Structure 1
Amino acid sequence: MSRVYIPLILFVLLILEGVSIRFLPPQIAAGDLLFIPHWILLFLILVCIFYDKPRTYHAVIYALIFGFLIDMIYTGLLGAYMFTYGFAMYLTHILKRAFHGNFYVSLLLAAIGTALSDIVIYVIYSVIGFTDLYWTEYASVRLLPTIIINLIFLVIIYPMFVKRFIRWRDEQDWSS
């Protein structure tokens, strides 16, 4: 069943990312800070840590597919999210070998993945002229609030999905 549930959850997160800012209180949403939801990335980090086995790359494949969908739906540049999400998942897949999967490792890898993805997207957008923020302004106005809001989201979804991922991984027939 996990082969059905994971893409469905990712699809729901894809839709919710577009309206997530409306869930914030008006005082926060109307401020100067930019909050960019990377919910798909965070969910895939949990998939990578708790569902993927050492020789499977489900999270990387889903990152490429849903990164491309984000590019098609929400941005004007195809490939930016697809590349960064795929790269972040591959890096997470490599780093998870060095750590035991638990809450603190998930927070660490989520912070690294979110920061890496957002910085790479910022660099891509700066090079082609989609943004004109200076690095210091970007770091204080967008990067730090984005990391904080996404880590809060991870704390919320962590207890809902980790045991399911472990159960799905153990039930999965990897030979097919």
Structure 2
Amino acid sequence: MRRYFIGLLCLFLLVMQGMAMSLLPSSLVYSDLLMTPHWILIFLLIVTVFYDNDNTYYAVWYALFFGLLLDVVYTGVLGVYMATYAIVIYIIHGLNKLLHANFVTASILAVVGVALADTILYVVYSFVQITAMAWWDYVVLRLLPTLAANMIFFIILYPLVKERVFNLGEEINNT
């Protein structure tokens, strides 16, 4: 059962991510602020920092698979989340090689990862003319609230899964 922990939690987060907006107060949901939950990405960032070592890329494979599932379930453009999540996790994996794994580092990487992913999604959706939001409006009305909401989720998720993910990574590396 241990080896299925990451996949099952990603699947659970995929389902919960779709219900995230219904968990917020209606005054926040119906405001001008747009928040996009990137819960799978947040969890995969924790996996990248604490599970993968320098020469394993499990989180990238999970990002490809669950990004594709996100595309199939929630978007009309296939491959956008799949490519975005995989690229962001790959970049974070490379940055993680330079840094020591702790809460502060994971928090910084989470901010960078969510900002990068959401910006890439904005650029792609602007390019294919799905969104017509101006850059400054995007930053103020979508990027900053998305970063804040996802960092709250990171702060809640981190103590719940960090030790479990780290221990699973140690087991894989020792075998």
TM-score (norm. length: structure 2) = 0.97
Q: How far off is 1:55 after superposition? A: 0.8
Distance across 2 between alignment mates of 1:158 and 1:118: 21
Q: How far off is 1:173 after superposition? A: 5.9
Distance across 1 between alignment mates of 2:2 and 2:44: 13
For residues 77-126 of structure 1, give each alpha carbon's deviation from its aligned partner in whole angstroms, at most 9, with x where no partner exists: 01110111000000010000111011111110000000000001100000
Distance across 2 between alignment mates of 1:174 and 1:2: 15
Distance across 1 between alignment mates of 2:174 and 2:83: 27
Can you give the 5+ residue segments of structure 1 that lack an aligned partner in the other structure?
A: none
What's the counterpart of residue 59 of structure 1? 59
Distance across 1 between alignment mates of 2:174 and 2:88: 24
1:145 aligns with 2:145: yes
Distance across 2 between alignment mates of 1:81 and 1:173: 29
1:88 aligns with 2:91: no
Identity %: 43
1:79 aligns with 2:110: no
What's the counterpart of residue 125 of structure 1? 125
Q: How far off is 1:3 after superposition? A: 2.2
What's the counterpart of residue 14 of structure 1? 14
What's the counterpart of residue 171 of structure 1? 171
Tell me the secondary structure at the aligned position of residue 97 of structure 2. Answer: helix
What's the counterpart of residue 162 of structure 1? 162
> Would you say how many aligned residue pairs link Structure 1 and Structure 2?
175
Q: How far off is 1:68 after superposition? A: 0.5
Q: How far off is 1:174 after superposition? A: 6.5
Distance across 2 between alignment mates of 1:103 and 1:82: 26
Letter in 1 for 2:71: D
Q: How far off is 1:171 after superposition? A: 1.8
What's the counterpart of residue 29 of structure 1? 29
TM-score (norm. length: structure 1) = 0.96
Distance across 2 between alignment mates of 1:174 and 1:84: 31
Structure 1 segments (4+ residues) deviating >2 Å: 172-175
